[in-house]
């Protein structure tokens, strides 16, 4: 397993040693990785770099970091045996990926086999020094990869809920619709806009507008729509969750 600062990993999963402290699990979309493997099947260059990747700068950065973390490329981007096998032997990808997960995720794999709790899974990922949205995305990547590879997943495991801008946790799988209008035909937000604002209200409105603009700009610069950002924008624009 590589021991350089970009791609250190752990094989024993004991939580001790500098290797585990340096290693950071991938938190890119698992679908993006699978699409890359499909592309590499008939087009494997001697080096994987930004000019070869087709995503945004942010996505390309995460892709290269993920490949290094899983020892699929070296520090210079040269494909390693694991990547060559995954790319050129598509019929064996499930078995190859299962071996990769057992190598780099020994604790989550073990937890899945004993039907551990969600908190135990999150604590295991937290021991890699990640938290918040990074940990949520890293867990999502692992669960998608484990499901594809047939690695045991506890019935209690799930991707952690998204924390909304208001501090609440958004429930997954909910549809959203605009809040109903009042009998006067104007929404609550529209009525508020017509009422005099205090100095504090005006500042909050300005900050809210700037925040929405920032989120929208971030969405527009991404190759794939980030549902988390869209959820936050919808919430700020006055959309609400509709119960199933």
Domain residue ranges in the chain: 18-149, 166-242
pLDDT over 90 at 221, yes or no: no
Bridge partner residues of 239 (DSSP): 178
- Per-residue pLDDT tens over the stretch 98-116: 999 999 999 999 999 999 9
**Minimum mean pLDDT among 25-34, 62-71, 201-210: which range?**
201-210
Q: Which of 57-61, 140-144, 148-152, 173-177 has the lowest mean pLDDT?
A: 173-177
Say if residues 47 and 56 touch (Cβ distance below 8 Å).
no
The pLDDT score that the predictor gives to residue 65 is 96
pLDDT at 82 over 50: yes
Q: Of 17-31, 49-63, 187-201, which one has max mean pLDDT?
A: 49-63
Task: Identify the burial level of 187 via C-beta atoms within 10 angstroms of its C-beta, where 0-12 means exposed, 13-18 middle and 19 or more buried.
Answer: middle
Residues 60, 50 contacting (CB under 8 angstroms): yes
How far is residue 34's CA from residue 125's CA, in Å, rounded to a whole number? 22
Beta-carbon-side half-sphere exposure of residue 91 (alpha carbons within 13 Å) = 0
Q: How confident is the model at residue 60 (pLDDT cuts 50, 70, 90)?
A: very high
DSSP letter (8 states) at residue 90 = G
Cα 163 from chain centroid?
Answer: 13
Higher per-residue confidence, 56 vs 217: 56
112-171: per-residue pLDDT in tens? 999 999 999 999 999 999 999 999 999 999 999 999 999 999 999 999 987 655 555 555
What pLDDT was estimated at residue 177?
A: 52
Mean pLDDT of 85-92: 98
At residue 98, the pLDDT reads 98
Q: What pLDDT shows up at residue 161?
A: 82
Widest pairwise Cα distance in the chain = 67
- CA within 13 Å, CB half, 105: 28
* Whole-number pLDDT of residue 110: 98
Tell me the average pLDDT of the chain. Answer: 78
**Tens digits of residue pLDDT in 3-29:** 333 333 333 343 334 444 579 999 999
Query: Which positions ≥6 away from 40 have C-beta within 8 Å?
Result: 79, 83, 87, 88
* pLDDT beyond 60 at 56: yes
pTM metric for this prediction? 0.63
207-211: average pLDDT: 71
Cα(45)–Cα(136) distance, integer angstroms: 32
């Amino acid at each position: 397993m590589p021991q350089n600062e970009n791609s250190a990993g752990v094989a024993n999963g004991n939580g001790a040693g500098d290797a585990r402290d340096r290693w950071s699990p991938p938190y890119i979309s698992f679908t993006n990785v699978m699409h890359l493997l499909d592309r590499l099947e008939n087009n494997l260059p001697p080096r994987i770099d930004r000019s070869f990747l087709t995503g945004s700068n942010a996505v390309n950065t995460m892709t290269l970091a993920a490949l290094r973390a899983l020892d699929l490329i070296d520090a210079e981007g040269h494909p390693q045996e694991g990547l060559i096998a995954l790319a050129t032997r598509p019929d064996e990808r499930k078995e190859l990926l299962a071996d990769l997960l057992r190598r780099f995720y020994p604790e989550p794999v073990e937890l899945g086999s004993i039907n551990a709790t969600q908190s135990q899974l999150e604590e295991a990922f937290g021991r890699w020094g990640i938290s918040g949205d990074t940990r949520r995305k890293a867990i999502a990547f692992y669960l998608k990869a484990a499901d594809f590879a047939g690695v045991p997943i506890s019935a209690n495991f799930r991707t952690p809920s998204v924390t909304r801008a208001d501090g609440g946790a958004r429930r997954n799988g909910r549809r959203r619709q605009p809040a109903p209008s009042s009998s006067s035909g104007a929404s609550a937000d529209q009525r508020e806009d017509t009422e005099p604002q205090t100095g504090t209200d005006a500042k909050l409105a300005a900050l809210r507008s700037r925040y929405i603009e920032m989120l929208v700009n971030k969405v527009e610069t991404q190759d794939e729509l980030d549902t988390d950002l869209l959820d936050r924008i919808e919430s700020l624009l006055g959309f609400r969750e509709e119960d199933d």
